[in-house]
Chains A and B, each alone.
Chain A
Amino acid sequence: MKNSRIGGPGLCLAAGLALGLGFWAPGAAEAEEPLLILGLTGGSYVSSTEGSPPALFPEAQVSAISSWRAVLAGGGVVSLNAASRLWGYWDAGAILHDKENLVLEALLPAGSSTLLLAAGLDGSALGTVEEAPHVQPDWRLGLRTPGEPWRAELQLKGHYLYEPQDIEDVLYQAARASLTYDPSIRWGLVTALEAGWEYRPEYPAVDGLPAQGVILRAEAGLEGLLGYFLEWSLRSYGGLHLANSYTGIPESGSSWFLAAEGDLSWSPHRQVSLHLGGFARYDSWLQRQALTSGGTPSGQTLYALSLGLDGRADWTPDGRLFLLVEGSAARRLANDPAEERWSLSAELGVEYSF
């Protein structure tokens, strides 16, 4: 039953997109040389959860990214991107995770605007620290207006998250409108509003109604270029998740969130690149209770503040072989000891672009 449900939207959209593109530009595509990037990283991860003593875990990752693009006559672009990561850490035995992603996307001229068609598939066979094994087909349909300094985009999008080992399946459909004001190359303003509807088929119905919710999200950000080599961005977003059911499952029920992110990317020479990023996010649940260290309800609704910093530097002698150094630090504070944790990680790696 479930399998027939997953395949539906994403695969049909991908097939439709491929057929549509063939119809739109028969034989007009000029394919670019595909890219293939293989990576290998290794390092250590220190973490503490629920107030436990810190533990050190060696970790390693292999990754592959492949992309292919073709420019269509008339200015359209079609691309296929695939990425796969397999990583694991040692904790009295190897614990493996994986993540796969496939996206077929097309940008087609539509008058003076651009039409976006996309379909993809996210998945994980082994699961990750945050996610159970899952597969998630998704789709997007959008229209972008051209020009400077104002640009607008309207997007309809959706996904279906299928988790065979859990009861967290979600169908999500949303509309997103964004407006960009870009008066100069030095700074620009990006704003967006998104409204979405979710349906959770595995949650019990509430008063005869299916378990469903509404997600509203607003974003605003600034970004630009300092000098010629330093990109910067500051972004904040906030939203509200209103659900008609609270089942005691952590992700159920209503909540609101507010977050801020900042990034700096500096590449003073083609051989070198540095990146620094940071974020802060506050989540507050409207029904979910915070628990005491004994596991009993504290009488307060749960809230959590997550903070993080990450840095990455790479160097390449020839534009094909890249040597990487990465580090990150994250801290989550909450009024529930079970939700508190921190982590530090440091990694060295190598990537090769074919």
Chain B
Amino acid sequence: MSQPTLSGAERMARAAGPMRVPRRTAALAVFLLAALLPLNAQSLESVLSRSRYSPEVRGEVGRLFQEAGQRGIPVEMLLPRLEEGIAKKVPAARLLAVLEREQELLLQARSLLSGLDGGEKLVRDRASWARAANLLAAGYAGDEVAELARASLNRTEDFRPAASLYVSLRGWGLLAGPALELVRGLLASPISGERFPGIMELFIEGRRLRLQPETLIQRLLEQLPQARTIEELRRMCLQP
């Protein structure tokens, strides 16, 4: 994954001396934001009021949220990151950089999802949209995220468990190609998304039997069209 470039907010934060945004301007920005998006802004204001950041920083955060809103990113999608930053008491510069980066990732994810025929369904589901952005943030290539999303188009509610399984398979050491193929096979099977983590159990069990993961993937792909449950897959691929 390439290093993110220094954002405007970060550059500003790194500048010597205190924030240059006058307090009155910052307060006005937050006020205007509240006027434009009353409920969300109230949430934003309420979250910010719990922080120890200076009014200048709060103003800059308000500006970032306003900009995100103008670009079609709901405030709720950035709020968790802000709350996390406040809870962890991260320095203002880092907070602003993270929020800006988050905004960029959400835009990139939306662009990827919208580019798929029927991908708007995933964008409308904010949790799926956020999950796609998380994948990008974790360093997964846009192509991988797009492929995962494409495989989920008929089961958009299972995009998130499919993405989590994919991350686990890759983290466990499988290559992108076989991992994607397996997730695609699962999404085409009747196995429900909440059972997807059980696939990792099969790999752990297969390893105990000294079965090469690639061999197990082959067996799983052959049996997935017939299997109705993970237990059936276990029987077909690992037992007796």
Contact = CB atoms under 8 A, between A and B. Distances in A.
Interface residues of A, number: 42
Given A229-B200, A273-B204, A319-B213, A185 B236 contact: no
A268 B172 contact: yes
Given A146-B228, A147-B229, A228-B200, A185 B194 contact: yes
Nearest to B213: A270
A265 B226 contact: no
Contacts of A301: none
Contacts of B195: 148, 185
B173 A269 contact: yes
B200 to A, nearest CB: 4
Interface stretch (A31-39, A44-52, A334-342): A31-39
A107 interface: yes
B168 interface: yes
- Interface class of chain A by DSSP: strand
A163 interface: no
- Interface class of chain B by DSSP: helix
Contacts of A217: none
B231 A33 contact: no
A22 to B, nearest CB: 18
Contacts of B223: 71
A231 interface: yes
A148 B204 contact: no
Contact of B210 (A103, A151, A228, A353): A353
B229 A146 contact: yes
Interface in B196-240: 196-198, 200-201, 203-204, 207-213, 215, 219, 222-223, 226, 228-232, 235-236, 239-240
A271 interface: yes
A114 B230 contact: no
A118 B239 CA distance: 12
Contacts of B198: 185, 225
B137 interface: no
Contacts of B93: none
Contact of A229 (B168, B212, B236): B168
Contacts of B153: none
A32 B226 CA distance: 18
A347 interface: no
26 contacts: A33-B215, A35-B209, A35-B211, A37-B210, A67-B209, A71-B223, A105-B240, A114-B235, A146-B229, A146-B231, A147-B228, A148-B229, A148-B231, A151-B231, A185-B201, A229-B168, A229-B172, A229-B200, A229-B204, A267-B172, A268-B171, A268-B172, A269-B173, A270-B172, A319-B212, A320-B212
Interface of B: 164-165, 168, 171-174, 194-198, 200-201, 203-204, 207-213, 215, 219, 222-223, 226, 228-232, 235-236, 239-240
CB-based closest 9 A-B pairs: A105-B240, A270-B173, A353-B210, A228-B168, A228-B200, A185-B198, A267-B204, A79-B240, A319-B212
